[in-house]
Amino acid sequence: MTEITGENVATDLFDLIEGHAILFTYGAQARMSELVYRMVASFVENTGVPMSMIFFTEQDRGPYNEFCCNHILDNAFAPNYENSSEYSSGGVTCTDMTELLMQIESKIQPRQLLFLEDLAFLRWRHNKVPFLRFLDLLSSRVRDKQGTLICTVAHNIFDTETEKLLHTVFDTVLYVTEDAIQFGPKKSKDDIQYALENGRLVLKPAVSTDLKKVKEIFSLSMEERKELDKIVHEHIEEYKRS
């Protein structure tokens, strides 16, 4: 599923992802759909965690269907995906989000992986606050179960304030270019180079990297997470009143 060049890049990357809320933000040249699907498949294969996908629109699910039916991925999902759930919400009103949160929360399993639909659809919604609040609460519920939340969004599709609020909901924001997964908007020696070759995801360090140190930087204590949650909630309330 995933080929590793050099150090144990995939293992360390999955250690960084597991148990956290992760947002992959990507540029126009990134093959994000294929990359994230294969990364999630490899993550499930390596960790054995149960997985659910969450959809918020009734859009064409061609990439999703291809992802689930691709024979290369069958072995990874056979023992895991058949027991997972698919959720759908037609809108992002407060009522929709509250009902959906309760539905998901009742089914979250320990170490569950929740993989969300790309957030591009939210661009056309005038009031984004209910959805941001939903994401904030969902990420907290997943963490309580020591689970993992993964979501994707393109660079610069929201205004600056909305983008800042979105980023605060997630523990870690990873930046994806056409050939690298970066730990910040600018290139660095800690970047992970990737390639999609013959249906496989190939990962390798850019130069030399120690992702365990990066993981320590992003790891928060329970008290620090509570303080961060408080700040996020305050920002959302301020945004709602503006």
Span between the terminal Cα atoms of the chain, in Å: 47
Residues 149-176: tens digit of each pLDDT: 999 999 988 888 888 889 999 999 999 9
Q: How far is CA 86 from CA 20, 53, 109, 116, in A?
A: 20, 5, 14, 10
DSSP 84: -
Query: Within a 13 Å sphere around the CA of 80, how many CA atoms are in the beta-carbon half?
Result: 25
pTM of the full structure: 0.74
Which strands, in side-by-side order, build the sheet including 113-116? 2-4, 200-205, 192-197, 180-182, 172-176, 21-26, 148-154, 113-116, 51-55, 86-88
Q: What percent of the chain has pLDDT over 70?
A: 64
| Range among 66-70, 77-81, 151-155, 225-229 rated most confident | 151-155
pLDDT band at 70 (very low <50, low <70, confident <90, very high): very low
25 pLDDT higher than 90: yes
Question: Phi and psi dihedrals of 36, rounded to 5?
Answer: -70, -35
Better-scored residue on pLDDT, 50 or 91: 50
How many Å apart are CA 120 and CA 100, to the nearest integer? 19
Domains and CATH numbers, the chain: 2-241 (3.40.50.300)
Q: Which residue has the tokens 């659809």?
A: 121
* Helix/strand/coil for 105: helix
Residues 187-209: tens digit of each pLDDT: 888 888 888 887 788 888 765 44
Contact 112, 52 (CB under 8 A): yes
